[in-house]
Amino acid sequence: MLGLTPARAIDIHASRQATRVSITRPTISAMRTRLLQTFLIAGLLGLAVQAQSPASSVTWLDPHREPASRLLGEAMSSPFAWERLAELGDTFGHRLSGSQALEDAIDWAVEQMQKDGLENVRKEPVKVPHWVRGQESLEIVAPRRHTLVMLGLGNSVGTPPDGIEAELLVVRSFDELQAAGASVKGKMVLFNVPFTTYGETVRYRGAGPSRAAALGAVAALVRSVGPPGLRTPHTGALNYDPAAPQIPAAAVTTEDADRLQRMVDRGTTLRLRLEMEAQMLPDADSYNVVGEIRGRELPDEVVVLGGHFDSWDVGTGSTDDGGGCIVTWEALRLMKKLSLRPRRTVRVVLWTNEENGLRGGTAYRDRYRDQLANHVLMLESDSGVFRPTGFGFSGSDAGRAKIRDIATLLRGIQADRIGPSGGGADIGPAVEAGKLAAMSLEVDGNYFLIHHTPADTIDKIDPMDMARASGAIAVMAYVVAEMPDRLR
Ligand SMILES: [Zn+2]
């Protein structure tokens, strides 16, 4: 039937039960009881599947099978990770750099890590940019008035108090912009470039405003960098080129971008009015949060896990990247709960300011520069916490072979695929400086549909997927930290 393996069928069943909980909207306590029952069943079945999965022929893993099985069993036995993420988002909301919400959430994380029994829990200071959005709006003013859905781009300057009104020029590429030449002067330019991959399309958000300004544009709009949603705008950072004037810039929805394109293609001359109060304030104080389980034999050798704790100022940053923070933190909580203290230190870092500055990741590199040679591996989860499929890995061939072996312990939850490359924005600076092995959690989900939008909220995340992701990261980190030979 559908060619599903028993394990896959069990997972889907458990997932559907978990999903149904939120659809039928029972009372909170009934909801929690059903969620717990789901986890109890899934935990037991998961353990059974694990026990029955054909043991891989990798004999060096034998001493690690039992702890790995316990870590997975513990992760799958409760919705703890999802509930912690829900509490984070519900309590503090979004967490933009410079906001009180981010700093309050950081203090909460420290307190929770201490309660979990993690060691050396600390805040490491980082100066972060402090951009504030303020009020903002975009409308077509001629030939008829229509309000458009928009979000100013992070780090954008604002408009004068009475806004900027200009004729709209729509382009589909940088080539079309260049070809428009002198006609760009005085216009508001819309880059209407449909989403392909993030790397390909985000160039228009990052560099588009300055490219348009260099030709005399007075404001820039970008089609949201994501697939069509439900008229959902996506924010994200722009990078001003010091050589061009700074003009205000905002994202519009894919639906509105297509509409504007159609109208211009029909020969309609459109005038738009953009109002943005956005401004950059002086740098603010923030922190990376660090917690550890110190290694029992080689405490100076470190396996680092983490995600970024800041988010855009819309939604609650649950997928980007609250979930990544919680599932990596979970790896340590699970080890602590099971009294598993590996040979090497496992460290979780919740980096600050990934979104509009990457100051947390660069501060980490600078603070630990002397110790990077002792960093065995860095792993980041920042692609959402959907059903985990495995990990991306960048490193030596020998390292990849070991990681592949370890991944066989995750066959029972179908998270055993090792992709061709791994990494993350926050671990990037340290990985590059220390030439370190890098990994990322890989998941099967529509991350870019909700990333940087008001729709980035906890309800898009399945508790069972978070449990699987936590278990998978815990097993990977534990074995790398525990195995006799260092990962090379
Ligand atoms: Zn992110």
Q: pLDDT digits over 331-379, tens only?
A: 999 999 999 999 999 999 999 999 999 999 999 999 999 999 999 999 9
Q: Answer for the pair 280, 248: CB distance below 8 angstroms, yes or no.
A: no
Q: Answer for the pair 286, 103: CB distance below 8 angstroms, yes or no.
A: yes
How sure is the predictor about 231, in pLDDT bands with cuts at 50, 70 and 90? very high
Q: What is the mean pLDDT of residues 316-328?
A: 98
Short-list 254, 237, 233, 484, CA closest to 358: 237
Q: Is 354 a catalytic residue?
A: yes
Distance 382 CA to ligand 1 centre (A): 5
Short-list 49, 466, 164, 96, CA closest to 309: 96
Distance 123 CA to ligand 1 centre (A): 20
Distance 118 CA to ligand 1 centre (A): 24
Residue 140 has pLDDT above 60, yes or no: yes
Distance 383 CA to ligand 1 centre (A): 7
Question: How many other CB atoms sit within 10 Å of the CB of residue 125?
Answer: 12
Q: Answer for the pair 180, 171: CB distance below 8 angstroms, yes or no.
A: yes
pLDDT in tens, 163-187: 999 999 999 999 999 999 999 999 9
Q: Answer for the pair 88, 111: CB distance below 8 angstroms, yes or no.
A: no
Distance 320 CA to ligand 1 centre (A): 4
How sure is the predictor about 24, in pLDDT bands with cuts at 50, 70 and 90? very low
Residue 25 has pLDDT above 50, yes or no: no
Residue 5 has pLDDT above 50, yes or no: no
Residue 299's alpha-carbon distances to 71, 79, 100, 253, 481, in angstroms, are 21, 31, 35, 50, 10
Residue 4: per-residue pLDDT: 33
Q: Answer for the pair 237, 203: CB distance below 8 angstroms, yes or no.
A: no
Distance 307 CA to ligand 1 centre (A): 8
- The amino acid occupying position 390 is G
Short-list 389, 397, 446, CA closest to 195: 446
- The residue whose two tokens read 């990376």 is 288
**47-61, 122-136, 147-161: the lowest-pLDDT one:** 47-61
Residue 104: both structure tokens together: 């309050």
Which residues does residue 152 pair with via DSSP β-bridges, in sequence order?
250
H helices of 53-79, in order, are 62-75
How far is 209 from 194, CA to CA, in rounded Å?
Answer: 17
**28-32, 38-42, 445-449: the lowest-pLDDT one:** 28-32
- Which of the residues 255, 275, 354, 482 is marked catalytic? 354
How far is 116 from 39, CA to CA, in rounded Å?
Answer: 21
Distance 221 CA to ligand 1 centre (A): 22
Q: Model pTM?
A: 0.91
Q: Provide, rounded to the nearest whole percent, the portion of the chain with pLDDT above 90.
A: 88
279-293/119-132 β-pairing: antiparallel
How sure is the predictor about 3, in pLDDT bands with cuts at 50, 70 and 90? very low
How sure is the predictor about 421, in pLDDT bands with cuts at 50, 70 and 90? very high
How far is 67 from 340, CA to CA, in rounded Å?
Answer: 8
Distance 52 CA to ligand 1 centre (A): 37
